[in-house]
Structure 1
Amino acid sequence: MSNIYDNAHELEKAIRNSEEFNELKEAFEAVMSDESAREMFENFRDTQLELQEKQMQGEEITEEEVESARQVVEVVQQHKDISNLMDKEQRLNLVINDISRIITKPLEDLYGESEKQ
């Protein structure tokens, strides 16, 4: 019987070797190699993180912050390389979400069975 952690490490390797991850890596490298794209992307990520931190701390996000974030998103989506990076990230996230559903299926089945009883 194989060790569950060994299987997890094999899954990690499979993700690293996947087409989706390698396309994301190439897109990320393209953004990082262009100074203006890198700055825009870093500004976008900083804005995202600031808003996430506020949400996690239960702080209210102001209309001005929402509008500012919306403007940052609009700008980065217009940059070809950043838009491509975001598309590739979304594709990999879909794969990871599918994997997550697969590996949590035993819990779903277990709790689903207990609800039927």
Structure 2
Amino acid sequence: MTHNIYDLANELDRAIRLLPEYKAVEAVKVSLNSDTDAKAILDDYLGFQTELQGLMQTGQMPSADMQKRMEEIHQKVQANPLVSDYFAKQQHLSIYMSDLEKIIFRPLQDLMK
């Protein structure tokens, strides 16, 4: 039985969106986006992550100021129940995504052997 690979990929997309873990992240994100304090903390965290990744890609290590800022942002994330819940739920979903990634890339890994 042959399947169109794109049809299978779209079916996987739909199945992921039906996962309870996906729905949980989606629901908390709606709540988070309607809370200006939580949204500001998340935006600050994501902006800092992007900045940090750019720094690491150039081979630089975070300065003492950046490390202090990282700790401050981490404390804000932990102190806000909505933001910390968002990251906890996202972590649960990422387990599925990691497992799927392994399965999807297995044929390419087999070619490398």
Same fold (TM over 0.5): yes
What is the deviation of 1:60?
A: 3.4
Cα RMSD (Å) = 1.4
What is the deviation of 1:30?
A: 1.1
> What are the equivalent positions in structure 2 for 1:17-56 lying under 5 Å apart?
17-56=18-57
Instruction: Give structure 2 stretches of 5+ with no counterpart.
Output: none
CA distance in 2, matches of 1:81, 1:66: 24
Matched with 1:94 is 95
Q: Deviations over 1:54-74 (max 9, x none)?
A: 222333321221221122012
What is the deviation of 1:110?
A: 4.0
Whether 2:67 is the aligned partner of 1:66: answer yes
Please give the TM-score of this superposition, normalised by the length of structure 2.
0.89
Please give the TM-score of this superposition, normalised by the length of structure 1.
0.86
CA distance in 2, matches of 1:56, 1:7: 34
CA distance in 2, matches of 1:79, 1:93: 21
Whether 2:80 is the aligned partner of 1:84: answer no
CA distance in 1, matches of 2:24, 2:5: 28
Greater alpha carbon shift after TM alignment, 90-99 vs 55-64: 55-64
Q: Count the aligned residue pairs.
A: 112
Identity %: 29
Instruction: Give structure 1 stretches of 5+ with no counterpart.
Output: 113-117
CA distance in 2, matches of 1:48, 1:36: 18
CA distance in 1, matches of 2:56, 2:85: 27
Q: Deviations over 1:26-80 (max 9, x none)?
A: 1111111111111111111111111112222333321221221122012111211
CA distance in 2, matches of 1:82, 1:41: 7
